[in-house]
Amino acid sequence: MADIRLEHIDKVYSGTAKAVDDFNLHIKDKEFIVFVGPSGCGKSTTLRMIAGLEEISSGDFVIDGKRMNDVAPKDRDIAMVFQNYALYPHMNVFDNMAFGLKLRKFPKEEIKQRVDNAARILGLEEYLERKPKALSGGQRQRVAIGRAIVRDAKVFLMDEPLSNLDAKLRVQMRKEIIQLHKRLETTTIYVTHDQTEAMTLATRIVIMKAGLIQQVGTPKEVYDHPDNMFVAGFIGSPSMNFVNGRLEEDGFFHVLSSEEKFEIPEGKMKVLRERGYTGKDLVLGIRPEDIHAELIYQDTKTAHRFNSHIEVSELMGAESYLYSKIGDQAFTARVDSRSHVEMGSSIDLFFDMTKAHFFDAATEATIR
């Protein structure tokens, strides 16, 4: 059981701007929270403050109603997994996993029981006698996770634990972490800069930029309803396309430095009008998968047809990425590979305007 509250948390290093600025988050028991954002956004600093490795400059950090700001890291009942495996090279797998328990003076029988149990969960039973050097990268990372599991801590903190693994292993470990969380149900806070990891692992995602929370929500919420252009662009791969333009009196979105104009579906138009955006600059956002190449879309009322000159095309197997421009603004379409076209050719692409997002050009906030 771990109910975590971070209230108005700030981190200030002497003489610099705030590394973390007014961070507020309530993490419920059994949640898998992922902090995601670009380098330097404050996600690892926040995690380290939770672990007690960094002092909290101001604000309250509370676990199960108890303020933890001044509690020593070892007394916080938190287990941490780092990016760099962190195993003792001179100890075998069993001793590596048992070490934290030995430190806490657990009885021998209980240590053995807990290590054996963790080894079974992680598929490490046959490697218990091996030293870390005789293990593969994935196995070593599993031992590092095992070191955290045996502690049976209230909270797991994971700081980019998969970044040292190759792409294939990362996908496999991702799956194992999901299964592990399902089984143990330990409240977990996971830091990554990889939005795919965030989307696949999290029950809720916290997206950060320059020390500030940009949005908190389930993967689906942040993907479908981003609060601002940063979130919209950061979550999703390839990232959302942004087209600058202006909403004119005629009710069309006129693309900047181009003759192209998009008809806006009635519902969205109503919101834009009500918010007073007529005659103002806007940014249209559309995800690559919401731009289609199938001719059937020409019959739909809400699809905007745009004859596109394909500058680059990438065949990914099941799908194709087509790179083109509206005026001087680049966009990417993610189409079925059956619609793949070669570079240099022209093709009609259909923008599904029901899926379009509109952002304020000045504040970059989503217009709702």
Q: What are the residues binding other proteins (CB under 8 A)?
A: 51-53, 72-74, 80, 82, 84-91, 96, 99-100, 103, 132, 147
Of 47 and 240, which has the nearer Cβ to other proteins? 47
Shortest Cβ distance from residue 362 to other proteins (Å)? 41
Shortest Cβ distance from residue 104 to other proteins (Å)? 10
Shortest Cβ distance from residue 68 to other proteins (Å)? 13
Written as six digits, the tokens of 46 are: 């926040």
Written as six digits, the tokens of 281 are: 């600059």
Of 144 and 291, which has the nearer Cβ to other proteins? 144
Of 85 and 359, which has the nearer Cβ to other proteins? 85
Shortest Cβ distance from residue 103 to other proteins (Å)? 6
Shortest Cβ distance from residue 72 to other proteins (Å)? 6
Of 91 and 330, which has the nearer Cβ to other proteins? 91
Are 148 and 79 in contact, with CB atoms under 8 Å apart? yes
Are 351 and 326 in contact, with CB atoms under 8 Å apart? no
For 175-234, the DSSP string reads: HHHHHHHHHH--EEEEEES-HHHHHHH-SEEEEEETTEEEEEE-HHHHHHS-SBHHHHHH
Give the containing element (helix H, strand E) for 267.
helix 266-274
Shortest Cβ distance from residue 88 to other proteins (Å)? 5
Of 147 and 170, which has the nearer Cβ to other proteins? 147
Shortest Cβ distance from residue 326 to other proteins (Å)? 48
Are 117 and 184 in contact, with CB atoms under 8 Å apart? no
Strand 281-286 vs strand 329-336: parallel, antiparallel, or unpaired?
unpaired
* Of 303, 313, 247, residue with least CA distance to 277: 247
Of 122 and 283, which has the nearer Cβ to other proteins? 122
Are 240 and 219 in contact, with CB atoms under 8 Å apart? no
Shortest Cβ distance from residue 160 to other proteins (Å)? 14
What lies within 8 Å, CB to CB, of 106 at 6+ separation is 114
Are 29 and 2 in contact, with CB atoms under 8 Å apart? yes
Of 91 and 361, which has the nearer Cβ to other proteins? 91
Written as six digits, the tokens of 234 are: 């950061």
Of 42 and 132, which has the nearer Cβ to other proteins? 132
Shortest Cβ distance from residue 80 to other proteins (Å)? 6
Sheet containing 303-309: order of strands: 291-292, 346-352, 303-309
Of 139 and 215, which has the nearer Cβ to other proteins? 139
What lies within 8 Å, CB to CB, of 325 at 6+ separation is 308, 309, 311, 331
DSSP H stretches of helix in 17-154: 43-51, 93-103, 108-122, 137-149
Are 228 and 214 in contact, with CB atoms under 8 Å apart? yes
